[in-house]
Amino acid sequence: MRTRSFAMIAVTGVMALLAAACGGGVADTGQIAGGGTANSEADKVYAEIAAVPRDQQRAKAVELAKQEGSLSIYSSMTQDVADVVRDKFQQQFGIQVSVFRGNSETVLQRILQEGGANRLGADAVETNFAEMAVLAHEGMLADYTGTGLDKVKDTGKFDHWTASRFNVFLPAWNTNLIRPGEEPRSWEELADPKYRGKITLEVSDSDWYENVTKYWLDHGKSQQEVDNLWRGIVSNAKAAKGHTTMMELLGAGQTPMDAMNYTYITERARVDGAPVAYRLADGTNPIPAFARPNGVGMLRGAKNPAAAWLFYDWMLNEGQQVLVDLHLTPSTDVPGDNSFKGINLVPFDVEGLTKEGADWDRKYDEQLRGVEQVPN
């Protein structure tokens, strides 16, 4: 069974080809991977916006963005979310928006390939933390200095990009098949034989696997105890591809429990009438919940840099309410948002996965060898 490759290993070959095509490294040419030089026209626009007082930067960006007239976003948002985000931004500013949507690895590879050919199509990007980290490392992202940063907690601020939303990991269950009192109250409980044949694992969730493993080790479990728990969980489980597919199966009663799904997917299904839940009857869940950041950034080689800046700023302001209305988990405090209510939130290991993601891909893949796949 093959899991997804993490960004750091997925683009190694691409970056090698780009370096060869350029006849040398970035340091030799003075170029950034996104095309142009460090003194590009886009950088000048970003500097012009940053030069005015912070409370006036939005107005300056609006002025310049309206002159540009368009914006290109590359994102791994689901299509329904991307459509609403595009429409809301267009309606507010009168700027024409195009969206290229793909999975996070596709978004990253497309930006790197276009940047290496000096034909960058994206102005702004919104995708998973691992891919954002690669773009930042390659010098492709410009620094945002607007007041939107003031709303984001330190755990959502990174070098050259900022968390725009979170995917929160928790088990989900069908309330007709897992009755009150039968729900898991710890990650360890997923290894209990009472759940034999009732659990579904997602084939690419190596980031969840890494976080749970490190959490257990950091809280006093031995490596042997951790290994035994994973053996128990895997022996109870079948596997499926895609969190949306897992939720469709769960809501239809074809599977009783997802070992992990994103809480926003569970909540959206519940609101739509599916018999699913991730909170107990009292509205809480004591299981440690890991919030994985998805981030927003603006490209240094952008053709429409002011519009890119404006989109970044909007995602941390008005865009947060748009995400909440779609039942996603925002990166700022939004009135009326209950995403974290009753949840036992713990830190997500961004640094560890950025450095060692490929190793955890391999380890998780090994865990799932021989696990039966749930038919779609």
Q: Are 303 and 51 in contact (CB under 8 A)?
A: no
- What pLDDT is attached to residue 34? 46
Q: What distance in Å separates the CA atoms of residue 266 and residue 246, rounded to the nearest whole number? A: 10
Mean pLDDT, the chain cut into blocks of 10 residues (376 residues total): 48 42 35 51 96 97 98 95 97 98 94 93 96 95 96 93 97 97 97 97 96 98 98 97 95 97 96 97 97 97 97 98 95 94 95 93 95 85
User: Closest Cα partner for 259 from 274, 272, 278, 273?
Assistant: 278
What is the per-residue pLDDT for 88? 98
pLDDT value of residue 340: 94
Q: Write the DSSP string, 138-165.
A: TT-EEPP-SGGGGGB-GGGEETTEEEEE
pLDDT at 55: 96
The DSSP code sequence of 224-244 is HHHHHHHHHHHHTEEEES-HH
User: Within 13 A of 79's CA, how many CA atoms are on the CB side?
Assistant: 1
Euclidean distance between CA atoms 200 and 341, whole angstroms = 25
Can you tell me the distance from the alpha carbon of 315 to that of 330, in angstroms, rounded to the nearest whole number? 10
Please, what are the domains in the chain?
7-165+294-330 (3.40.190.10), 167-292+339-367 (3.40.190.10)
| pLDDT value of residue 26 | 32
Q: What is this structure's pTM?
A: 0.85
Dihedrals φ, ψ of 71, to 5°? Answer: -150, 135
Residue 375 is predicted with a pLDDT of 81
Nearest-angstrom CA–CA distance, 138 and 158: 14
Structure tokens at 99: 């969206």
